Amino acid sequence: MADALPRDAVVSSEAEQLILVDAADREIGHDSKAACHDGHGILHRAFSLFVFNEGGELLLQQRSRSKRLWPGYWSNSCCSHPRHGEDMAQATQRRLQQEMGMRCALRFLFKFEYQADYGGFGAEHELCWVFVGRTGMPVRANATEVEAWRFVPPEQLDAEIATHPGRFTPWLKLEWKRLRAEFADALP
């Protein structure tokens, strides 16, 4: 792939400008990624991608231990934020390429607001768009973003979350529960 990044490329910073939104997802301003995650968080636009392989297994990633929030936790295939001046289609494809070294057609399913504190380190307060996709492309994870990755059958993820919920990011647990309950027919 011509636009593949080195496996250790730095692809985000605390200074990047995120999109602030209201509860109806209307853009109301911009602020740094750092400011958006300070304290209890400032509501900003985000996305979560659930990418499945051709066998119907979900790609999970373990977040880098250098992450400020939920380092070393298992999470969905890819999650991030559109930047100031970037639409959601551009942002999801950019980040999937930067983080996992792949491309994938994505289908929007739902969006929701959540807030989760991570001790004294900050918080997520996001209006998150959730997408699903399927690909046969190999994973080429970025080591600055991803500690490890694996494919897991949906039923196995259900069991792991039930048995060890503290190993997973709060947004993954919320999104996966809703995907399984309301959007099971949309999952590959």
Look at the block and give the residue holding tokens 């304290």. Answer: 39
| Closest to 50 in 3D by CA, of 126, 120, 105, 112 | 105
Q: Is residue 164 in some structural domain?
A: yes
Within a domain: 5: no
CA pair distance 123, 82, nearest whole angstrom: 18
Global confidence as pTM: 0.92
Asked if residue 7 is part of any domain, the answer here is no
Instruction: Give domain status of residue 12, yes or no.
Output: no
> Is 175 annotated as catalytic?
no
From 79, 99, 104, 175, active-site residue:
79
What region, left, alpha or beta, does residue 25 occupy, with left being phi > 0 and alpha being psi -120 to 50 degrees? left
Q: Is 128 noted as a catalytic residue in this protein?
A: no
Residue 65 covered by a domain? yes
User: How many domains, the chain?
Assistant: 1
| Domain harbouring 65, CATH code | 3.90.79.10
Is residue 173 one of the residues assigned to a domain? Answer: yes
Rounded Cα gap, residues 133 and 175, in angstroms:
15
Considering the candidates 99, 124, 126, 145, report the single residue annotated as catalytic.
126
Q: Which domain does 134 fall in, by range?
A: 17-186
What is the spatial distance between Cα 44 and Cα 34, in angstroms, rounded to a whole number? 12
Query: Is residue 163 included in any domain, yes or no?
Result: yes
- Residue 11 resides in a domain: no
Q: What is the pLDDT along the chain (188 residues), one digit of tens a residue?
A: 334 555 565 556 667 899 999 999 999 999 999 999 999 999 999 999 999 999 999 999 999 999 999 999 999 999 999 999 999 999 999 999 999 999 999 999 999 999 999 988 999 999 999 999 999 999 999 999 999 999 999 999 999 999 999 999 999 999 999 999 999 998 88
